[in-house]
Amino acid sequence: MSLTSWLNKVATEKVVQPGARDVKVALSALDHDNFAAKNFPDLGHKVNGLKIFTWRLNNWSKLDMKVTSATIECGGYNWRILLYPYGTTPSTDNESTTLYLEYLSRYSANQASAQFAFVLSNIRDPTIYSTKWAKHRFSSTDSTWGFSKFAAIVQLLQATDSRARPIIENDSVDITVYLRVLDDPVGALNLNLQPNNKKINIKQRLVSRDTWQKKEDELRTSRPPEPPARLSAMTEGCWQQCFIKNSTGFYVRLVKHFLKFGRFNNAPEASIAPFSVGVFSGGDSVGVAGGVAYEIDLGADDAIMFSLGFSGVSSGSYGSFQAGVAFTADPEEGYKMASVGGGALKSSECRGTDEDGKNFSLFIRITAVANQNNIFTLEEVRYYDP
């Protein structure tokens, strides 16, 4: 151990007199058993698979906007880490690192319940770290879950009053995932909306009935980027035609977005699912494709993510606009239903307790109505136990 590491270690220890009952030693991210005991609680489910995977990243400042880890095998499924070093919507005033766990078996009919924790730690002193954990039931329509704002970049790159060294030091960092695949055949992992037996108030006042009409300060921070000037006429219609009407009792917030433009191929299906096929493969149609991800805040750190995708195509005097929806944390993944034909899509079920102590099941349904404007209506559907 170097002298610097030893001094930092001593500085975090509690000095006691002989015979004292406890000695506080800084917890290392490499001490997997003790780290998990403190930061990765047992949820009481049978464990079908456990994996601890560390991904070392060098040259942090030169990483791409989106980076993926190697495949992680656990519980009979394949997984990987999705990292956005500067977030999915980087800006100069609000940069946060984004981390998701991705379920790579999403094209199968199987669902997988998992509990996972991410740890970012200093590669030379693993007692300096930041960690968060989550639980989720992954499926083909909901294949990513994690933290859109895991930690502010400035907090990772600088020492603080409580940390003698930054987490990202000399442009390097370790990212560790603790992953448990759980035996959860009835989907109980997603049933607890309010931990610690808190009751969810299903009659709570609506914060916003239309997420496009938020307070001005929120709009300034969450508005999608302005399109290139040469496409402004077409993209303006795209954004304005995606209306969201929130009829639930929960707050809905925009969390990320992206926008692409170029020459589309002319296959009709390309404009319906613009993010799962190669739409920018040449052709005569100039167009734009984008995606917007939202979070339905259920309270107590529980949320349901959904994304809207759209594409606008212009070929000569002809123009078309189509949109799709999916329950996913990544707006670039692809969409299961196109609003051009209308239809509805529902989330996985959750469980809650109302203010009268009655237990109920709940899911969110998004209905798309295609007309002159594309309208997506969010509804809260619930039914009580017998």
List pLDDT tens digits, range 70-101: 999 999 899 999 998 888 754 444 578 989 99
At 346, the pLDDT band (50, 70, 90 cuts) reads confident
Mean pLDDT score of the chain, rounded to an integer? 67
pLDDT at 55 over 90: yes
Interval 225-272: pLDDT, tens: 444 454 455 444 444 445 677 777 677 776 666 666 555 554 434 333
pLDDT at 349: 73
Q: What is residue 288's predicted lDDT score, i.e. its pLDDT?
A: 61
Is 105 or 90 the better-scoring residue by pLDDT?
A: 105
Look at 110 and 132; give whichever has higher pLDDT.
Answer: 132
179 pLDDT band, cuts 50/70/90, is very high
Confirm if 53 and 69 have CB atoms less than 8 A apart.
Answer: yes
Per-residue pLDDT reduced to its tens digit, 10-42: 344 433 333 434 445 688 999 999 999 998 988
Q: What is the C-alpha to C-alpha distance for residues 52 and 323, in angstroms, rounded to an integer?
A: 39
Nearest by Cα to 340 from 315, 304, 369? 369
DSSP class of residue 34?
H
Q: How far apart, in Å, are the Cα atoms of 165 and each of 4, 29, 122, 197?
A: 11, 15, 8, 39
Nearest to 256 by CA among 112, 106, 149: 149
Average pLDDT over residues 159-188: 86
Tell which wins on pLDDT, 257 or 175.
175
**Does pTM top 0.85 for this prediction?**
no
The whole-number average pLDDT for the span 298-310 is 65
- Token readout for 241 is 């035609």
Give the percent of the chain with pLDDT over 90.
20
- How big is the chain by its Cα radius of gyration, in Å? 23
Are 195 and 44 contacting, i.e. CB atoms less than 8 angstroms apart? no
| Three-state SS at 134 | strand
Higher pLDDT, 52 or 368: 52
Domain spans in the chain, listed from the N-terminal domain onward: 3-186, 216-384
Average pLDDT over residues 87-116: 74
- Token pair of 283, please? 């052709």
pLDDT of residue 220: 35
Q: Which residue has the higher pLDDT, 362 or 122?
A: 122
pLDDT for 259 equals 61
At 138-168, the pLDDT tens digits run 877 678 888 888 998 888 998 888 888 999 9
Residue 323: pLDDT band by 50, 70, 90 thresholds? Answer: low
Q: Percent of the chain at pLDDT above 70? A: 49
Least confident of 15-29, 36-50, 63-77, 104-118: 15-29
pLDDT confidence tier of residue 177, bands split at 50, 70 and 90: very high
Which tokens sit at 252? 């809905």
Range 3-186 has CATH code 3.40.50.970:
no
| Residue 319 backbone dihedrals phi, psi, to 5 degrees | -140, 145
CA dist 267 and 273 (Å) reads 11
Is the model more confident about 136 or about 140?
A: 136
Rounded Cα–Cα distance for residues 104 and 34 (Å): 29
3-state class (DSSP) for residue 156: helix
Per-residue pLDDT, 342: 53
Q: What does the pLDDT read at residue 291?
A: 65
Choose the weakest-confidence range: 24-33, 113-122, 296-305, 334-343: 334-343
